[in-house]
Amino acid sequence: MQLAFDSDVEEFRAEFSAFLDEHTPSAAETLERPRSTAHMPQWARDWQRKLFDNGWLLPAQPPEFGGRNATVLQTFVHAEELCRRRIYHSFNPQGVNIIAASLLTFGSDEQKHRWAVPVLKGERTAALGMSEPSAGSDLASLRTKAVREDDHFVVNGQKVWTSGAHDADFLLTFVRTDPDAPKHKGISVLLIPTELEGVVCRPFADLCGMENLDFNEVFFTDVRVPAENLVGPVNGGWGVANGSLGHERTMMWLGFADRIANCLADFRPKSPLERDALATSIMDYEALRLLGSVGIAKAARGEVDVASVSIPKLLGGEAEQRVLGLALEAAGPDGLVHPSTSGPYEHMNLDDYFASWFERYARSFGGTIAGGTSEIQRNIIAQQVLGLPRR
């Protein structure tokens, strides 16, 4: 059995490592901190541009989209190297990993270059407009309406939980274009610039503090969106939604793996019981990396299997919550002191990643809800991966 990578993969790692040694911004350059998932300070934009230009942003992509046609294993060590150094992949994570990734799959050539490439280069930021007050788990019930009028769609309705929308330049928005069709068949996708008249983003706080403004309600009132902003076919949005959710769940399990690895490094067990629980989390982490890699390998072979990405999404979200719950409990009352730090300051990562144990634990709940709740992942795995009967 060979437990090491082949030399070409290690050479790839060494090249990336040398790039990071030479180009990673210093702590002094990163003093302005990102305030939402679509707010990128200039240093974060410049850094992302450098990754793009050197083929290190999305290594599996061709150079025109910030990559170098890397293999699956090379992509894996790229993620491993960023995690080891605690470097956050992009400070507009949904823009790069969901919206640009979806446009590269479903967009026209013109849309790839006009909308995806500026996001990948860090010139523009994007947010994901899927969920609505009555359409979260049951996304196909969404009601935001788009009516075609000549060369425009006129959009009316509301989204919610739209991370970073108030700082984003545009939204990948799921809208109903045929109210009479079965609900999965009447959905389309529009690129909606937030500067258009009639778009109002209202950020609201989360449980970690009133200053944490990432979630938004987004209201659309008679917003006129050029018809050329339609992504994929009219009423073909459900296919795009599934692809976008596959990208989102891949982004999420990679994030879980990073945060579990960080927690395993920061948490020092004192009792045999804590050590025993930690051992379980180490096994969770290894299982997550291996199961997740299966999905990456399938995608690299061109196999479309969105359903099975639910496995690492479910495992990782719950494993992260378990290990952070363990660390919080072990810290006792000290873990509740907020704000405080529970790990070394890492200027290239989000401040949340080394916040108080309370904050790290509280934030882990989002991972079992966003991108589809754990219950929904269980339903998908039961029905679409295991083929169990629907009751």
Ligand X SMILES: Cc1cc2nc3c(=O)[nH]c(=O)nc-3n(C[C@H](O)[C@H](O)[C@H](O)COP(=O)(O)OP(=O)(O)OC[C@H]3O[C@@H](n4cnc5c(N)ncnc54)[C@H](O)[C@@H]3O)c2cc1C
Query: In this chain, which of 350, 366, 377, 380 binds ligand X, going by CB under 6 A?
Result: 366
| Contacting range for ligand X; rule: CB under 6 A; set: 38-46, 48-56, 160-168, 382-390 | 160-168
Residue 99 beta carbon to ligand X: minimum distance, rounded to whole angstroms: 10
CB 221 within 8 A of CB 198: yes
| Contacting range for ligand X; rule: CB under 6 A; set: 80-88, 156-164, 322-330, 340-348 | 156-164
Residue 212 beta carbon to ligand X: minimum distance, rounded to whole angstroms: 11
Residue 280 beta carbon to ligand X: minimum distance, rounded to whole angstroms: 24
Residue pointed to by tokens 């939980």: 161
Window 125-144: contact mask with ligand X (x via CB under 6 A): --xxxxx----xx-------
CA-CA distance, 88 to 105, in Å (whole number)? 24
Query: In this chain, which of 62, 344, 375, 383 binds ligand X, going by CB under 6 A?
Result: 375
DSSP secondary structure string for all residues of 216-236: EEEEEEEEEEEGGGEESSTT-
CB 255 within 8 A of CB 371: no
Residue 46 beta carbon to ligand X: minimum distance, rounded to whole angstroms: 25
Question: How many C-beta neighbours within 10 Å does residue 145 have?
Answer: 16
Pick between residue 67 and residue 136 the one whose CB is nearest to ligand X: 136
Asked if 162 touches ligand X (CB under 6 A), the answer is: yes
Instruction: Find the DSSP H helices in the chain.
Output: 7-23, 42-53, 72-84, 93-94, 101-106, 109-111, 117-120, 237-266, 272-300, 310-331, 357-367, 374-380
Listed as own residue / partner, the contacts of 143-149 with beta carbons closer than 8 Å and 24 or more positions apart are 143/176, 144/173, 144/174, 144/175, 144/176, 144/220, 145/175, 145/176, 145/179, 146/175, 146/176, 146/177, 146/188, 146/190, 146/225, 147/177, 148/177, 148/227, 148/234, 149/224
Residue pointed to by tokens 């109903």: 176
- Output the residue with the shortest Cβ distance to ligand X: 136
Asked if 314 touches ligand X (CB under 6 A), the answer is: no
| Contacting range for ligand X; rule: CB under 6 A; set: 39-47, 78-86, 123-131, 140-148 | 123-131
| Contacting range for ligand X; rule: CB under 6 A; set: 7-15, 118-126, 145-153, 372-380 | 372-380
CA-CA distance, 345 to 349, in Å (whole number)? 9
| Structure tokens given for 201 | 């983003």
Instruction: Report the site for ligand X in 10-39 (rule: CB under 6 A).
Output: none
Phi, psi of 174 (to 5 degrees): -95, 125
CA count, 13 A, side-chain hemisphere, 14: 7
| Contacting range for ligand X; rule: CB under 6 A; set: 298-306, 337-345, 354-362, 373-381 | 373-381
Asked if 326 touches ligand X (CB under 6 A), the answer is: no
Cβ burial of 326 (10 Å; 0-12, 13-18, 19+) is: buried
Give the count of residues interacting with ligand X (CB under 6 A).
19
Residue 351 beta carbon to ligand X: minimum distance, rounded to whole angstroms: 16
| Contacting range for ligand X; rule: CB under 6 A; set: 69-77, 124-132, 185-193, 253-261 | 124-132
Asked if 372 touches ligand X (CB under 6 A), the answer is: yes
CB 138 within 8 A of CB 158: no
Asked if 376 touches ligand X (CB under 6 A), the answer is: yes
Query: In this chain, which of 373, 381, 382, 385 binds ligand X, going by CB under 6 A?
Result: 373
**CB under 8 Å to 182, separation ≥6 — which residues?**
none
Asked if 316 touches ligand X (CB under 6 A), the answer is: no
Asked if 163 touches ligand X (CB under 6 A), the answer is: yes
| Contacting range for ligand X; rule: CB under 6 A; set: 69-77, 176-184, 186-194, 366-374 | 366-374
Residue 318 beta carbon to ligand X: minimum distance, rounded to whole angstroms: 13
Window 186-225: contact mask with ligand X (x via CB under 6 A): ----------------------------------------
Query: Which residues are near ligand X by CB under 6 A?
Result: 94, 127-131, 136-137, 161-163, 366, 369-370, 372-373, 375-376, 379
